[in-house]
Amino acid sequence: MDSKNYARAIDYFKVILSEDKNNDDVWVLLGLCQTKADEFDKAYMSFNNALKINSKNSFAWSGKAYLLFLAGKYEKALLYCDFALNFCRENEMALMIKKNIGDVENSAYKKDFPHEKFDIDNILNSFKSHKHGSGDFDFVDLNKNEGPTTVSDLNEFENIFTKKRIKLLKDNPLTVDEYNNILNRIKQAGLTNFNEMIEEHNIDLSEISIFKKISLMALSYTDIEYKTKGAEHGSFAFNVIRVDDRLDESNQISTLIHELAHYIFNEIFTQSLMYIWNSDKTDAIEAISIYSISRSKSYKLMNEYCAHTVQGRFLPFGYQNYGSFNMLLKGFDPKKDKKRVKTYLKLGNSFAEDIILILEKFISKNWRSEIKEQFKKDFTNPPNYDGILLETKKTVPAEDIVKTINKILTKGLINIIENDDVEIIQKYKKEYEKLSH
């Protein structure tokens, strides 16, 4: 290894491992040699093997961080550098990677897929030897031949992590027409559920408050829970909107619209996976969807801007508030990330425009007048127009929207594989299962 004869060093390390397969330091040395020999996929597996034996091996973490750095996955690389330095503060590789990442400007549109020297087939095959907690991947068959019209078997990850599924996602992106079909399906599902609730409970909309009308609209899509603690007005996670019932009705209306926008944003990505894979909705698909749209701070910024924009459309002029968006914005460098932020704001606004069209099927001019009256009743202070300054008219073409959807979903699926995030999506799946049961 010292003489840079990495091929021979690799052979010798393999001989050692054949006699002592639980030597984590040798796995790390093998991984370093494989990295020098440009065998990146094998190196990643070697570092993983070291961490299975000793999760505190600093140099296995920095080895994985280096490979992720090469792949342009800077956020995850930084996380692994922190792990490495936590176990060994003098880890020079981790320190070097962190410095190099700081010197790289992260553009809005990196390559759609990981570094070209990563062999996705080989990384996929590493699942065959992995032993995860619930055993979901113990019997993965990457060459499994599913039927062309599979509609209900994708609630098991073993039927998702196959070459066929990844190829479908990578090579068959949504078309604009298919995206519009998805939007229409979301709209029609909500309207159908809304009308069924009205009929089942014999509700006269003219006799109920605007707060109850907005609540019914939200319930047409997802569940609502009321909380009585915490500073947040509300939140959305795993198909449940949570709202603080200590708020006045105007703020509850505002919060319900905001969190419902988050739900529809997530639903767009979930239904995109359903469309591409010709499947009905499953807990596993929803878990992959929420993982994909939440794994990057850029995606979170886009999502939050979208929700604030949708919310602002239906509130009286001067009551627009981008508070949580501004908090996320603090995580970006005003100079280095300027272009990146602008790109994701335009994308967020584009999704918002489509979600607004869905909600306008519920929130008529009469409803909006009632919302204004409720705000007049609840607020005596004059409106604040600062939030208006954050609104934008800039959008991207529909072709860019579907490209973004496919990029986020594909990178999400590959990221699960590359970074061993199986446990995370298993946890997400269990959260969705709680709701369905």
Per-residue pLDDT tens over the stretch 128-150? 444 444 444 444 455 555 544 44
Question: pTM of the full predicted structure?
Answer: 0.70
Contacts of 141 (CB under 8 A, 6+ apart): 158, 162
Residue 128, both tokens: 């065959």
Distances (CA, A) of 149 to 161, 166, 175, 274: 17, 16, 19, 12
Q: How many CB atoms lie within 10 A of CB 430?
A: 13
Is the distance from CB of 409 to CB of 272 less than 8 angstroms? yes
Q: How many CB atoms lie within 10 A of CB 299?
A: 20
Nearest to 341 by CA among 332, 350, 330: 332
Nearest to 266 by CA among 292, 284, 243, 241: 292
pLDDT of the residue at 145: 53
Buried b / exposed e over 64-84, threshold 16 CB at 10 Å, is: bbbbbbbbebbebbbbbbebb
Is the distance from CB of 180 to CB of 268 less than 8 angstroms? no
Q: Amino acid identity of 393?
A: K
Is the distance from CB of 40 to CB of 117 less than 8 angstroms? yes
Residue 257, both tokens: 């619209």
Q: Amino acid identity of 124?
A: L
Task: For residues 341 and 330, give the distance between their C-alpha atoms in angstroms, rounded to a whole number.
Answer: 11
Task: For residues 247 and 96, give the distance between their C-alpha atoms in angstroms, rounded to a whole number.
Answer: 49
pLDDT of the residue at 313: 95
Contacts of 139 (CB under 8 A, 6+ apart): 158
Contacts of 288 (CB under 8 A, 6+ apart): 160, 273, 409, 412, 413, 416, 425
Task: Kindly tell me the burial class for residue 46, based on how many C-beta atoms sit within 10 Å of its own C-beta (0-12, 13-18, 19 or more).
Answer: buried
Contacts of 250 (CB under 8 A, 6+ apart): 371, 374, 375, 377, 378, 379
pLDDT of the residue at 141: 52
What is the per-residue pLDDT across 186-198, written as a single tens digit (0 to 9) for each?
999 999 999 999 9
Phi-psi region of 94 (alpha: psi -120 to 50; beta: other; left: phi over 0): alpha
Distances (CA, A) of 147 to 159, 160, 166, 169, 352: 11, 13, 15, 16, 36
pLDDT of the residue at 216: 97
Task: For residues 145 and 381, give the distance between their C-alpha atoms in angstroms, rounded to a whole number.
Answer: 64
Nearest to 314 by CA among 366, 267, 371: 371
> Which residues of the chain, if any, have pLDDT below 70?
104-153, 231, 385, 436-437
Q: Do β-strands 240-244 and 223-227 pair in parallel, antiparallel, or remain unpaired?
A: parallel
Q: What is the dihedral of CA 272, 274, 275, 278, to 10 degrees?
A: 160
